[in-house]
Amino acid sequence: MKIKPILTAACAAALVFSAAACQTQTVSSSKADTSELSAADTTVAQTTVEPTTTAPERHAEDYVITAKEYQIDYSGAFLLTGEESRSSETATARFPQLLQNAPDADAMNAELHERFDRTFDEYNNSTYVSGRTDYVASLNNRILSLAVESRSVDTPNSDFWVYTADVDTGKRLTRDEIAAIAGTTTQDVLNEVIDDINARCDNTTFSGDMLEQLDKVRIRSLEQENLDKAEFFFDSDGVLNVTYGYYWVAGAERYGALLKTSFVCQ
């Protein structure tokens, strides 16, 4: 086995110090010794080590800011942040704006403002709160992920807006591209979504006619048309997350879900 030598910062500093020491000895030599140096030797003796520079560290906050923010009384859980609020508690409602100078980012910003500007204006003019909006943003290497959740008050249901892009190119990434970055395929990711949907349907205490209804919503949830609406993004730990919808036997009929998969940003 060959072990490659590793040049640590301490070793590099030692080498620089040694070079400086050599230069000091050359300068302090006698005049006769100096005259015997060739032109090439003199050039080598005067060589200095240039300091290295590193690129500044980037953060998600460099690409995403809060467009609007409001404090509201809110009761309910929030999937993206994992928070649980009671009716007597105050929670922060926010929605984001992308700072990327790219057509894909502009389109996402327009969609977010169209959806949430009116909601946040209503916070100022009404005591009734129909729902809460918040978001998470992360940067893994050059991959920016933004996930926005709008959570209802009347029914425990979530809608999601997801944006994943390469900050170096400004290009929004497809599901296939995101899956490839995680070292997998879109179908492998969707297979975990399918398993999650089946687990939801299996872990129930329904009986009788409700079982027939459960079979119907399971089939609808597993239809390719529904799976095609699932969105992929990476969280701050680099884990590939999926937002998807599933159908149920009561309530809002179709619910939004969040799944942390077994895949990680490579």
pLDDT at residue 37 greater than cutoff 70: no
Average of per-residue pLDDT values in the chain: 82
Q: Which of 121, 146, 173 is the last residue of a domain?
A: 173
Cα(118)–Cα(18) distance, rounded to whole angstroms? 67
Structural domain includes residue 36 = no
Structural domain includes residue 202 = yes
Packed helices 209-221 and 186-202: angle between N→C axes, nearest 10 degrees:
170
Structural domain includes residue 39 = no
Cβ atoms of 161 and 137 closer than 8 Å:
no
Instruction: Give the pLDDT confidence score for residue 75 in this predicted structure.
Output: 80
What is the pLDDT confidence band of residue 233, given thresholds at 50, 70 and 90?
very high
pLDDT at residue 189 greater than cutoff 90: yes
60 in the same domain as 158: yes
Instruction: Give the pLDDT confidence score for residue 251 in this predicted structure.
Output: 77
pLDDT at residue 184 greater than cutoff 50: yes
Tokens found for residue 71: 């404090």
219 in the same domain as 158: no
Instruction: Give the pLDDT confidence score for residue 61 in this predicted structure.
Output: 94
What is the pLDDT confidence band of residue 255, given thresholds at 50, 70 and 90?
very high
Q: Which of 122, 138, 173 is the last residue of a domain?
A: 173
Residue of higher predicted confidence among 156 and 72: 72
Structural domain includes residue 20 = no
Instruction: Give the pLDDT confidence score for residue 1 in this predicted structure.
Output: 39
What is the pLDDT confidence band of residue 244, given thresholds at 50, 70 and 90?
very high
pLDDT at residue 29 greater than cutoff 70: no
Average pLDDT over residues 107-115: 95
pLDDT at residue 40 greater than cutoff 70: no
Structural domain includes residue 28 = no
Cα(173)–Cα(149) distance, rounded to whole angstroms? 20
Average pLDDT over residues 37-49: 50
166 in the same domain as 64: yes
What is the pLDDT confidence band of residue 48, given thresholds at 50, 70 and 90?
low
Tokens found for residue 14: 């030692």
Structural domain includes residue 153 = yes
Q: What is the pTM of this model?
A: 0.77
Print the domain residue range for 89. Answer: 55-173
Structural domain includes residue 40 = no
**DSSP-based three-state secondary structure for 21:** helix
67 in the same domain as 156: yes
Domain count, the chain: 2
Question: What is the C-alpha end-to-end distance of the chain, expressed in Å?
Answer: 27
Q: Which of 137, 152, 173 is the last residue of a domain?
A: 173
